[in-house]
Amino acid sequence: MSRFFSSKYSGLVPYTPGEQPQDQQYIKLNTNESPFPPSPMAQRMARQAAGDLQLYSDPECRELTAIGAAYFGVDREEILFTNGSDEGLNFAFMAFCDEKHPAAFPDITYGFYPVFARLNGVPYEEIPLGEDFTVNPSEYMGVGKTVFLANPNAPTGIAIPVSEIEKILISNPDNVVVIDEAYVDFGAESCVNLIHTYSNLLVIQTMSKSRNLAGGRLGFCIGCRELIRDLNTIKYSVNPYNVNRMTMAAGIGAFADREYFRFCCEEIAENRSRSAEELKKIGFLMTDSLANFLFVRHPKIGGRELYLKLKEKGILIRHFETPRLKDYNRITVGSAEQMKTLTETLTELLKEYT
C-alpha cells in the first residue's frame, strides 16, 4: 500500500473473488454462475437500452421497482434495487450496524460479511457452525446484535427452516435480522412473505444466480418501508445512479420471463440431484445443499490436491484454505453436459487412489 493509504484500513483484508482465468477455456464450476444465458427477453431489452446510455439511469428504478414489487407482492416502498446484492449488504452494514449495534454471523459463511464489517468499523461476532456445518438458530436468539444469515448458507448450501428464522426475529425485536437469500430459488423457502409480520426483517436477493445476470450486477432488498427508507438514505448519500440503464432493462426482462426462470431453476436442481448421486457412487461425502452448488470432500484425496488436478484437466472448482474447509471443495452445478464431464473426469482421477 502507498504511504497515503488511510490507517483506518490498514488491517483490512479484502474479499477474494473466484478465479476468472483468461489463459485458457475452462469448464467453470467455481463461481456459482449460471450455465444458462440471460433470458432472451432480458437480452433484447438490454440491447434496446444501450441506445440511451448518454443519459443517466433512473435513480428510483421506477419501472423495475414496479415489476419487482408486483412479482413479490410487496409495495414499491418495500423494495430497493442495488448494484448486485453485495451493495445491498454493504448498505445494511452501514445503516444498521455501529459500535452499539455490532454484527453477528456464522464463522463459515459468505466471505464478504467480515469484510463489510471491518470496512465500516463495525464490531462483529462470528458464531461457529456445528461440526456438521449447520447453523444452530438458538445461538442467535436474543443475541442483541444485527444478524446476517445466508440462507441457504455458503459455501455449505445448508438451509435453515423459516420457522427457526422467525424465532430469531422474535427474540431480537430491537435488532435488524438480514437474511441473504442469494441461493433461495434452487430449493429453499424464502422469508419475503414475513416482512409484513416482522419490522426487523430485511431480505436480500440477487439476480446473479437464478436469473442468470451475474455480469449485470443487480440485487434487491425487501423489507418494511422504514427499513427501505433507511437504505435509500445510504444509497442517495453514496451512489444515486447505482443501477445502470442496461442492467435495469435486463432485470425487467428477467422478471417478466417467468417460464424461462422456472426452467433454469428446475434444470439446475435436477442437475444438482443427479450429480450428487453420481459423486456419492465414487466415494464423495457432501452436505445437503439446496443451492446451485455442491460442497464435497473425498476421504482419499485432499481438497487442494483435487482442485489442482481438476484444473490441470480444464475444470475449475472453488477451494478454501481455511482449516475447517481445507478438505472440501465447492462445485457449482453447471449444465448436464458439464456435470457429466466432471463426474467422468473425477472417476478417472480417483483410479489413482484405489
Report pLDDT for 24. 62
Beta bridge partners of 101: 98
Q: How far apart are the C-alpha atoms of 317 and 137, rounded to whole Å?
A: 30
Distance of CA 125 to the CA centre of its chain: 20
Digit-coded pLDDT (tens) for 14-72: 877 777 776 668 999 999 999 999 999 999 999 999 999 999 999 999 999 999 999 99
Count other Cβ atoms within 10 Å, centred on residue 319: 21
Digit-coded pLDDT (tens) for 240-298: 999 999 999 999 999 999 999 999 999 999 999 999 999 999 999 999 999 999 999 99
Provide DSSP, 322-346.
STTTTT-EEEE---HHHHHHHHHHH
In 30-80, which residue ranges form alpha helices assigned H by DSSP?
A: 40-49, 62-72
DSSP state at residue 7 = G
DSSP state at residue 139 = G
Q: Cell numbers at residue 354, please? A: 484405489
For residue 350, what is the enclosing H or E element?
A: helix 336-350
Digit-coded pLDDT (tens) for 79-113: 999 999 999 999 999 999 999 999 999 999 999 99
Q: How far apart are the C-alpha atoms of 353 and 230, rounded to whole Å?
A: 56
Q: Cell numbers at residue 206, please? A: 440477487
- What string of H, E and C letters represents the secondary structure of 211-242? CCCCCCCCEEEEECHHHHHHHHHHHHHHCCCC
